Amino acid sequence: MSNINNAITFNYIGHVLSPFKEKFAIPRQPGLVSAAQGKVVLTGDANNADLVKELSQFSHIWLLFVFHGTQTQGWKPLVRPPRLGGNKKIGVLATRSTFRPNPIGMSVVKLLSIEVKNQQVILHISGLDLLDKTPIVDIKPYVPYSDALPDAQAGFAQAPPAINLSVVFSDSAQLALKEFSEKWPELAPLIEQVLAQDPRPAYKQGKNDEKIYGMTLYDLNIEWQMQNLTSLLVTKISKI
């Protein structure tokens, strides 16, 4: 048998600008938080308007990317999916875990518009589940007749997550929303949609919890606390 070089080199074609500045609280799948808007900025030789000619005909696109936030942690053959409560180990290839043999991810996002300004190509997207500065290695159009298979079986992830917490803003948090509304008009629904998914660790979900949590969106720190099993309170929104 001849020797085969199993190393493949990819060049990044762009990077993501995202409201999610840290891994905590990122939606576990794309499309769950429609208010999450961001950009794909093409770079290098890929920063060429010819590459995206007629792409605007498609409402959604696939983004193939690198899990750069967990890349240095290596991979595991067995992982604990949050959808199984974090209590059962299954093969990593039966999940969408970030701890993969090759740190490659894929997400379907809504393509809002394509901007070419000062020779810079920017794709405006929404429904993203990507960390800020995520490297993009490829972009493909989403084709409904072949990519959407209504009869497909998805094991433990057949249906969307059932979690849907009620989110309440404190008086001070509401004042902060007004203060930041001009710069981030989608901030309130973004916070609501992210927290409604209960971003706490899987073993905490469905349990009361007095801990005050924090997450970073854009350049803001959002603090929140569970009120009961079905609702939580956003206590504070402040600049970092």
The residue segments making up the domain with residue 232 are: 161-239
Residue that finishes a domain, picked among 118, 141, 156: 156
Q: In whole angstroms, how far apart are CA 191 and each of 94, 107, 182, 228, 238?
A: 30, 21, 16, 18, 13
* Residue 18 CB contacts under 8 Å (≥ 6 apart), including other chains: 36, 38, 128, 130, 131, 132, 133, 134
Q: What is the mean pLDDT of residues 76-85?
A: 83
Tell me if 1 is assigned to some domain. no
Q: Give yes or no: residues 137 and 170 share one domain.
A: no
- Helix (H) or strand (E) run with residue 120 in it: strand 120-126
Q: Looking at residue 193, what is its pLDDT?
A: 95
pLDDT at position 97 over 80:
yes
Q: What is the mean pLDDT of residues 116-126?
A: 96
Tell me if 180 is assigned to some domain. yes
Q: What is the mean pLDDT of residues 210-226?
A: 95
Distance, in Å, from the CA atom of 165 to the CA atom of 120, rounded to the nearest integer, reads 40
pTM of the entire structure?
0.89
- Say which range, 61-65, 94-98, 115-119, 180-184, has the weakest mean pLDDT: 94-98
Q: Using alpha carbons, select from 229, 238, 226 the residue that is nearest to residue 168.
A: 226
Q: Give yes or no: residues 137 and 180 share one domain.
A: no
Residue that finishes a domain, picked among 104, 132, 156: 156
Q: Give yes or no: residues 132 and 180 share one domain.
A: no
Tell me if 232 is assigned to some domain. yes
Q: Do strands 120-126 and 104-117 pair parallel, antiparallel, or not at all (unpaired)?
A: antiparallel
